[in-house]
């Protein structure tokens, strides 16, 4: 685990101690204190039910419908208090309500009632108003999402920097190879052509020298 954190910290350019500190703060913020479910309220409405979970903190709830008259609520993020109260308001059609404790911070709530599938799941803390859980993104998920986005941004930034560096190396290598190839092509072309010095000497011998001799003879006559 420590090796993976060290490698990841090198990849994103973050000091290992800072990375561990960030993760520790996030974990501490999520699990500072234990929270419990104290009361489950089934409130009859015109089109179904409001299922209100009264607890110390807002939990994460997954609703599973097993039929019109049967649902299962998987609740995580809070534990079961020593005595959980069941309160029924505006309805007499509830057959049963059973709580199954799965772990310290997870439980299942089985509810059997007429048309319970048409229910809205809500949560309420001691000092707050009921909150519809479908409309609220849990705090721990917000924190983790922000942490993931920050880490992902650092990874992307590092990847872009590495890519730009590699691209610059490729461009430099390509330019150097082209220069070498042009130089070699020029050398091959020179080797396939007559010597430039020979051309100059031949031109001087055939054109310049005869004219100089004739001019000398004409001057001598004078």
Most distant CA atoms of the chain, gap in Å: 148
Residues 184, 221 within the same domain:
yes
| Residue range of the domain that includes 70 | 33-136
What integer pLDDT is reported at residue 186 of this predicted model? 67
Confidence band for 21, pLDDT divided at 50, 70 and 90: low
Residues 37, 104 within the same domain:
yes
Residues 188, 211 within the same domain:
yes
How does the average pLDDT of the chain come out, rounded? 75
What's the average model confidence in pLDDT over 97-109?
93
Q: Which residues contact 33 (CB under 8 A, 6 or more apart)?
A: 56
Residues 94, 181 within the same domain:
no
pLDDT in tens, 148-193: 888 888 877 777 777 777 777 767 777 777 777 777 776 776 666 6
What's the average model confidence in pLDDT over 91-110?
93
What integer pLDDT is reported at residue 27 of this predicted model? 58
Q: Percent of the chain at pLDDT above 70?
A: 62
Q: For residue 173, how far is the Cα from the chain centroid?
A: 33
Q: Which residues contact 68 (CB under 8 A, 6 or more apart)?
A: 114, 115, 116, 117
User: Vertex 23, ends 153 and 106: CA angle to 5°?
Assistant: 115
Which helix (H) or strand (E) covers residue 38, if one does? strand 36-45
Residues 142, 222 within the same domain:
yes
Residues 210, 141 within the same domain:
yes
Residues 27, 91 within the same domain:
no
Residues 14, 37 within the same domain:
no
Residues 39, 132 within the same domain:
yes
From the list 28, 20, 15, 21, the residue with the least C-alpha distance to 1 is 20
Residues 23, 107 within the same domain:
no
Write down which residue in 105, 136, 167 finishes a domain: 136
What's the average model confidence in pLDDT over 32-61?
90
What integer pLDDT is reported at residue 71 of this predicted model? 96
Residues 74, 162 within the same domain:
no
Residues 72, 26 within the same domain:
no
What integer pLDDT is reported at residue 179 of this predicted model? 76
Number of domains comprising the chain: 3
């Amino acid at each position: 685990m420590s090796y993976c954190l060290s490698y990841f910290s090198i990849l994103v350019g973050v000091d290992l101690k800072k990375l561990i500190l960030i993760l520790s703060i996030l974990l501490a913020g999520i699990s500072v204190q234990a929270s419990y479910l104290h009361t489950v309220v089934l409130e009859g409405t015109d089109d179904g039910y409001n299922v209100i979970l009264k607890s110390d903190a807002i939990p994460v709830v997954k609703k599973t419908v097993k039929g019109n008259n049967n649902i299962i609520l998987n609740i995580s993020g809070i534990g079961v208090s020593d005595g959980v109260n069941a309160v029924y308001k505006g309805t007499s059609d509830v057959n049963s309500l059973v709580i199954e404790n799965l772990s310290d911070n997870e439980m299942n709530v089985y509810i059997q009632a007429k048309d319970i599938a048409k229910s809205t799941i809500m949560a309420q803390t001691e000092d707050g108003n009921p909150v519809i859980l479908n409309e609220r993104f849990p705090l721990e998920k917000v924190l983790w999402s922000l942490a993931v986005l920050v880490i992902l941004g650092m990874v992307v930034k590092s990847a872009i920097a590495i890519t730009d560096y590699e691209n610059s190396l490729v461009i430099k290598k390509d330019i150097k190879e082209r220069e070498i190839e042009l130089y070699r092509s020029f050398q091959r072309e020179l080797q396939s052509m007559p010597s430039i010095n020979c051309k100059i000497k031949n031109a001087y011998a055939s054109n310049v020298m005869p004219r100089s001799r004739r001019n000398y003879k004409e001057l001598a006559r004078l």
